[in-house]
Structure 1
């Protein structure tokens, strides 16, 4: 990682502030781009509700919500915009979207309904009446790629792009470990049993507020039985005959490709 890719999170600008700043501006949940680039004004609009994110390389970074798209800029769905951004900016766009949504969703206290206020020097909102404090939260979710010999078990949910498949995924329930979640979700979604869980990696995922934790697991028994309403189709694919899979901007895209390469290396 180069110094330009190093991100240092913060809630207030360091001194001195950078002359230019990465600015992740959103209109109705869509990210503003100009010729595929993130908006970088030296002085963000003063009237826009904005939040400082930290410093990426030598530049400060902000996120803000605008009422309308400025002249010369285009609004793009976040998922599509993330595909065209380099990885450091992709991660920042994810962070920016989640901070803005957290701020919007907690403008009022969830306990007593009083308008909340930002907490100085913290990423938090506090109720002045009952002192209930809310920090940005994420929902842990597991992802499991099951392998058997030279095959990978891939599935598709209703609404996927036609012909596209991915690894299994699901949210962690209260009181459940990540490993317990893998075994439960695999059994529920496709009806098979696995062993030998291996941690692969994680990715912050802003759809809506998740931390995707990815594993590989070896099939140990059971026939595929797709869960009605959740899994439209699931099947075994040879590593040299994979269907459409997610692009590399998502951890599932990396997980599937890297696991296929690993299985090829085993012969």
Structure 2
């Protein structure tokens, strides 16, 4: 991705991704992402010398600006984690904001060269960090992973992951896992399902992908059919996994996630 540096005029409308201490500034009301011109918004302390234009949404640029203090809310709202806007903004805008968080993570974790240990510098012709001592260059990390909804007749396999185990709010979702070196996506689906649930699947079909900036995943979504085996869960990953009928579903992941999209795809095919 090109590292876009443009001069913003006081009258140019833009979306503003203002990040401090791992959180973003959100506005109260229907539109949580700040929008407006510089001369309309209370940005007296905003330093635009290091801004990055992430992309465009609805014809206007999304501008990433980093603040050092999350107490600087400039009267616009308050700082929240990225998940706060999930389902509250259109998917393309969420993906752009997520890209901004991934860029911040990249800049923070590549301050020093992994080859010679010298300080890295951000170059201005593309989004990368370069060591001018040894020439080593790094780009934002993207971690490919699969996520799969599995159906068995008119049932779907849903699991409560260890990280989703909130008493009284246990979310049941699809299985997922990171792709290993030298592995195809289909092989990853088969391996992850067998490791986590002890069953084998067939008819693996790709549906859709979703950037998932927690912190830098790219989720590749699949649907598969049950082939054989008895459910035997990996307790390091899952608290529970069961076959559910669609008229008796547990608490599901929110809309806007690829997990929910896959669940709804299977529901449509089974009803």
Compute the TM-score of the two structures, normalised by the length of structure 1. 0.90
Mean CA deviation greater in 82-91 or 137-146: 82-91
Of the three residues 125, 128, 151, the one matched with 2:129 is 125
The 5-angstrom pairing of residues 250-265 of structure 1 reads 250-264=257-271
Going from structure 1 to structure 2, the CA distance change for 1:15 and 1:129 (only over 3 Å counts) comes to closer
Q: Counterparts of 1:189 and 1:245 in 2: how far apart (Å)?
A: 19
Unaligned runs of 5+ in 2: none
Deviation digits for residues 94-127 of structure 1 (CA, Å, limit 9, x no counterpart): 1110011101111111111111112222011100
User: Any idea what the Cα deviations from partners look like across 1:186-229, whole Å, max 9, x if unmatched?
Assistant: 00000001000010111000111100001111001001001021
Report the TM-score when normalising by structure 2. Answer: 0.88
3-state SS, counterpart of residue 268 of structure 2: helix
| Mapped partners of 1:107, 1:64: distance in 2 | 18
1:80-103 per-residue CA deviation (whole Å, 9 max, x = no partner) reads: 223322222211111110011101
2:213 match: 206
Closer, same or farther: CA 155–48 of 1 in aligned 2, 3 Å: farther
Structure 1 stretch displaced more, 226-235 or 83-92: 83-92
Match status 1:230 vs 2:233: no
The answer as to 2:29 corresponding to 1:39 is: no
Post-superposition offset of 1:54: 2.2
CA contact (8 A) 2:3 2:53 kept: yes
Cα deviation 1:159-207 (Å, max 9, x = unaligned):
3143310000000011111111100000000000100001011100011
Q: Give the Cα–Cα distance (whole angstroms) in 2 for the partners of residues 251 and 90 of structure 1.
A: 13
For the residue of structure 1 that corresponds to 2:104, the secondary structure is: helix
The equivalent residue for 2:101 is: 97
- The 2-side partners of 1:122 and 1:57 are apart by 24
1:136-175 matches, cutoff 5 A? 136-160=140-164, 161=166, 162-175=169-182
The separation in 2 between residues aligned to 1:150 and 1:58, in whole angstroms, is: 43
Q: Which moved more, 1:239-248 or 1:40-49?
A: 40-49
Q: 2:5–2:52: 8 Å Cα contact kept in structure 1?
A: no
Conserved? CA contact 1:150–1:238, under 8 Å: yes
Alpha-carbon displacement from aligned partner over 1:54-96 (angstroms, at most 9, x marks no partner): 2223212211221223232201111122332222221111111
Measure the CA separation in 2 of the matches of 1:108 and 1:41. Answer: 36
CA deviation string 1:108-157 (max 9, x = no partner): 11111111112222011100101100011200000111101000001111
- Where 1:208 maps in the other structure, the secondary structure is coil
Determine the structure 2 residue equivalent to 1:21.
14
Distance 1:48 1:122 in 2: 17
Find the aligned partners of 2:221 and 2:200 in 1 and give their Cα distance: 17
Match of 1:6 in 2: none
Aligned twin of 1:70: 73
Unaligned runs of 5+ in 1: 1-8
Q: 1:30 aligns with which of 10, 23, 28?
A: 23
